[in-house]
Amino acid sequence: MEFGKVSKYAFLSLVACAAIGLNVASATARIYTATIDSDGNVLSQNPNWVSKVEHVVHQNYFANYQVEFNKRTFNKAPGYCSVSLADTRSADDIYYGQARLGAAPKQSGLSVVTQLAGKPGAWVDSSQSFMLMCVQ
């Protein structure tokens, strides 16, 4: 067999092994989900990974939720987290409601900020229910 063909097959074998390795690595990723109501109560979670939620309202501006993780859930900060609103109490919640992460997630927890951006007139409480997902 020629050297060129051997190196070609070696390269293809290396690519195949790398693809298998990446596939195995992605299969070990763990997905964590939780639904939290506008008062900061955990309605559901899978697995049991949220230990506490502290809810603070900044009137006419935003609401902040400090989500604390169970101590043994993450051995380092989650690789990816996302938040999405779940409130449909009124049309204002649907049209003006926003949720975002307050900062990059840490091993101990994260911050979620909700607000009614662009809503005309004054409002007192911008607390919103939301769904949270993190991947490790």
Tens of pLDDT, residues 47-92: 999 999 999 999 888 999 999 999 999 999 999 999 999 988 888 8
Residue 44 — φ and ψ, nearest 5°? -155, 155
**Domain ranges for the chain:** 29-135
Which pLDDT score is estimated for 3?
Answer: 45
Which pLDDT score is estimated for 60?
Answer: 84
Higher pLDDT: 75 or 124? It is 75
Tens of pLDDT, residues 4-61: 444 445 444 544 544 455 444 556 889 999 999 999 999 999 999 999 999 999 988 8
Q: Using a cut of 0.85, tell me whether the model's pTM lies above it.
A: no
pLDDT, mean over the chain: 84
Which pLDDT score is estimated for 94?
Answer: 84
pLDDT band, residue 95 (cuts 50/70/90): confident
**Assigned CATH for 29-135:** 2.60.40
Pair of tokens at residue 109: 């927890």
